[in-house]
Amino acid sequence: MSNTIRLTMAQALTRFLAAQMTIMDGKEVPIFAGVWAIFGHGNVAGIGEALYHIRDELPTYRAHNEQAMAHAAIAYAKASFRQRMMAVTSSVGPGATNMVTAAALAHVNRLPLLLLPGDVFANRIPDPVLQQVESFADGTVSANDCFRPVSRYFDRITRPEQIIPALARAMTVLTDPAECGPVTLALCQDVQAEAYDYPESFFDRRVWSLRRPRPDRNELATAVAALKSASKPLLIAGGGVIFSQASKELADFAEAAGIPVCETQGGKSSLPDAHPLNMAAIGVTGTSAANRLAQEADVIIAVGTRLQDFTTGSWSLFQNSAKTFIGLNVQTFDAAKHRALPLVADAKEGLLELTAALQGYKAPASWTENAKSGKTEWQKAVAKVTGPTNAALPSDAQVIGAVQRSFGADATVLHAAGGLPGEMHKLWQAGAPGSYHAEYGFSCMGYEIAGGLGTKMAKPDDEVVVMIGDGSYLMLNSEIATSVMLGQRITIMLLDNRGYGCINRLQMGTGGANFNNLLKDSKHETLPDIDFAAHARSLGAISEKVASIADLEAALIRAKANDRTTVIVIDTDPLISTDEGGTWWDVAVPEVSQRSQVNAARREYEQKLKLQRVGD
């Protein structure tokens, strides 16, 4: 009979997590870098007590908002290329449901996150407990059922021994490159405290390695044949290139075959911006260099991307009727999208085998040189829109230019929602792989500051710069205090355009009246005059407001020398965005309206719909 050890379920859970390892940079390290926790009656006595006893092996971090601490955990995993991750625990009720948005974010972005919300009593004797959500028709329902559609794996632990198979399944999901996403283990609060005789082998150290599936030989042969027939090939680098750490293999492939590369939001920094074959951003927020090639391309290799509508211009961008897509992706669901020829494989392994099989093939020199010429023209456009200005209200692009000049391509920049993702995707000149950190899969306002904190924890030696608008700042800023408390210094660049400027521009572009986006166009009796610098100081940060681009560049230099988180505020123009580059995006315009502007926008919309190419 195997040896056993008597532990509570919560103690067994935390001890198991501490025993899971991975290899990074040739060293064995814990795969869980820690646990974020906000305690309440549903987890303080159970998992809280268990975490206390293992705090030296599995650190516990206190946060100020449940959604934010989950965002920080997600950012940590993303910055670690999915090789390390964090767990997050909350109480029942609002503590749990606060994390549902973060779970959806991790689900969309294919990022590992272990969620450990407390749950109601399995024995149901105290029902209804404080914060319990009751279903009139289903006695098994709790608030945690909200996690089911946004979890890759969901389980409710109603007996202490159930944690054994549940954790085994959780680890396979969290470490699988194809299945990767959030796991939710809802922990009934009485069961957290119940003891069981667990086999000691359950707590053996285990090392998890990155799985790298190689391509099927038939799929590889089909993809190679398609590529060898290409006269205008193009490669789209998605986030899978970053997670696979396949930047060198991507560069080798592109250089050997003379194939230009463009990048999604998730894939930006796959190649350094300075690489001559990197056409940079593609799609709605893309560069003219990338998008004009996409319109003509006859074979498009989509590597590690899910081809969302911002990448494809709502499937209006690729205009060559004879085009063929090759989907190189570790996930079959993504590899076969939109009638692509699937090449199911890890990005690094797939690119290596494509390079070997394509020896002797070279894209026509005219196509490659045309691409390089387009990049040169685009770089001129970038220099023009990001250059210094004396305008009373600078544009987002001019602020981006100042940050780029002050921090350079080596800094890790992070953003998530609003107008900044479009401008950053086009204009930021990224350096090392992973130095561009965008959350534009779920485009979640409020991710930015917490995400910056998690990124800094994963990359303590990097300068981490958070780019954020006033709208996102007001939604979720509490982890400024956490960053100060933990000694994690980040620089927060706050662009204040007094409202939701990006959506206001979209509203105007679809013929709508300026309504309920900018503060001045919203229902109010008094317009707020928010002192963001004073607010940031109240949370413990160093902060200042600047009045010009010149003042901003000086403030950014000071920020690098500060000993804690710095928030720099600048007023910006809500109506200016970069006209250069980009392509159409399908946002449905009403068929009928009392506004002539909407009717005109509808006519233009109907013309654009004719550009969509899904079935050819």
Task: Give the pLDDT band (50/70/90) at residue 2.
Answer: confident
Q: Give the pLDDT score at 23.
A: 96
* Residue 576 belongs to a domain: no
Supply the CATH number for residue 332's domain. Answer: 3.40.50.1220
Report helix, strand or coil for 509. Answer: helix
Please give the Cα distance from 313 to 299 (Å, whole number): 17
Residue where one domain finishes, among candidates 376, 396, 431: 376
385-397 pLDDT per residue, tens? 999 888 889 999 9
Q: Among 156, 183, 208, which residue terminates a domain? A: 208
Dig out the tokens for 345 from the structure.
């494989």
Question: Could you give the CA distance from residue 359 to residue 534 in angstroms, rounded to a whole number?
Answer: 61
Among candidate residues 330, 272, 335, the one with its CA nearest the CA of residue 301: 335
Q: Please report which helix (H) or strand (E) contains residue 611, including its range.
A: none
- 101: Cα separation from own chain's centroid: 13
**What angle do the packed helices 549-561 and 396-407 form, to 10 degrees?**
40
Beta bridge partners of 570: 495, 546
Q: Residue 85: phi, psi to the nearest 5? A: -155, 180
Do 533 and 424 share a domain, yes or no? Answer: yes
Full 3-state SS string of 373-390: HHHHHHHHHHHHHHCCCC
Angle at which helices 420-427 and 365-386 pack, to 10 degrees? 130
Residues 566 and 594 in one domain: no
Tell whether 223 and 201 lie within a shared domain.
no
Residue 411, in any domain of the structure: yes
What would the mean pLDDT of 243-266 be, rounded to a whole number? 98
Task: Kindly report, residue by residue over 510-532, the tens digit of the pLDDT.
Answer: 999 999 999 999 999 999 899 99
- Indicate the number of domains in the chain: 4
Q: Which of 300, 308, 280, 343 is nearest to 110 (CA)?
A: 308
Q: Is the pLDDT of residue 458 over 70?
A: yes
CA distances to 5, 502, 511 from 605, rounded to whole Å, are 67, 19, 11
- CA 166-172-173 angle, 5° bins: 90
Specify whether 566 is located in the same domain as 597.
no
At 347 the pLDDT is 98
140 and 252 in a single domain? The answer is no
pLDDT tens digits along 110-140: 999 999 999 999 999 999 999 999 999 999 9
- Confidence grade of residue 483 (pLDDT, cut at 50, 70, 90): very high
Q: Where are the alpha helices (DSSP H) in 188-287?
A: 189-192, 217-228, 239-243, 247-257
- At residue 1, the pLDDT reads 53
363 with 437, same domain?
Answer: no
Structural domain span for residue 111? 4-208
Decide: 81 and 435 in contact? Cβ < 8 Å.
no
The residues that bridge with 344 in the sheet, in sequence order, are: 329
User: Using 50, 70 and 90 to split pLDDT, how confident is the model at 616?
Assistant: low
Q: What is the pLDDT of residue 613?
A: 78
Average pLDDT across the chain, whole number: 96
Spatial distance between the Cα atoms of 161 and 141, rounded to a whole number of angstroms: 21
What backbone phi and psi angles, to 5 degrees, belong to 5? -135, 135
Query: 151-206: per-residue pLDDT in tens?
Result: 999 999 999 999 999 999 999 999 999 999 999 999 999 999 999 999 999 999 99
- The residue type found at 410 is D
**Cα–Cα distance list, 540 to 388, 479, 569 (Å):** 31, 11, 16
State residue 30 phi and psi, 5-degree precision.
-60, 135
Question: What does the H/E/C string look like for 406-470?
Answer: HHCCCCEEEECCCCHHHHHHHHCCCCCCCCEEECCCCCCCCHHHHHHHHHHHHCCCCCEEEEEEH
Final residue before a domain boundary, out of 320, 352, 376: 376
Q: With the C-alpha atoms ordered 487, 490, 496, 497, is the resulting torsion angle positive or negative?
A: negative
Residue 522 lies in a domain: yes
Contact 185, 152 (CB under 8 A): no
- Does residue 202 share a domain with residue 53? yes
Give mean pLDDT, residues 70-85: 98
The enclosing H or E element of 554 equals helix 549-561
Which pLDDT value is given to residue 433? 97
Do residues 167 and 256 both lie within one domain? no
Regarding whether 281 and 150 lie in a shared domain, the answer is no
What does the pLDDT look like over 396-442, one tens digit per residue? 999 999 999 999 998 999 999 999 999 999 999 999 999 999 999 99
What is the predicted pLDDT for the residue at 615?
61
User: Is the pLDDT score of 614 beyond 90?
Assistant: no
Q: Is residue 381 part of a domain?
A: no
Give the integer Cα–Cα distance in Å for 17 and 32. 7
Question: Residue 96 in contact with residue 144, Cβ under 8 Å?
Answer: yes
pTM of the model: 0.97
Q: Cβ atoms within 10 A of the Cβ of 410, count?
A: 11
Same domain, 167 and 280: no
- For 593, the token pair is 């309206």
User: The tokens 């709208």 sit on which residue?
Assistant: 471
**How does strand 299-303 pair with strand 278-281?**
unpaired
Give the number of other CB atoms < 10 A from CB of residue 130.
12
3-state secondary structure 88-156: EEECCCHHHHCCHHHHHHHHHHCCCEEEEEEECCCCCCCCCCCCCCCCCCCCCCCHHHHHHHHCCEEEE
**Judgement on whether residues 12 and 55 belong to the same structural domain of the protein:** yes
* Residue 398 sits in the same domain as residue 532: yes
pLDDT score of 64? 97
- CATH number for the domain spanning 158: value is 3.40.50.970
Instruction: Report pLDDT for 389.
Output: 82
Q: What tokens appear for 216 in the block?
A: 């099927």
From first CA to last CA, the distance across the chain in angstroms is 64
State what percent of residues in the chain have pLDDT above 90. 97
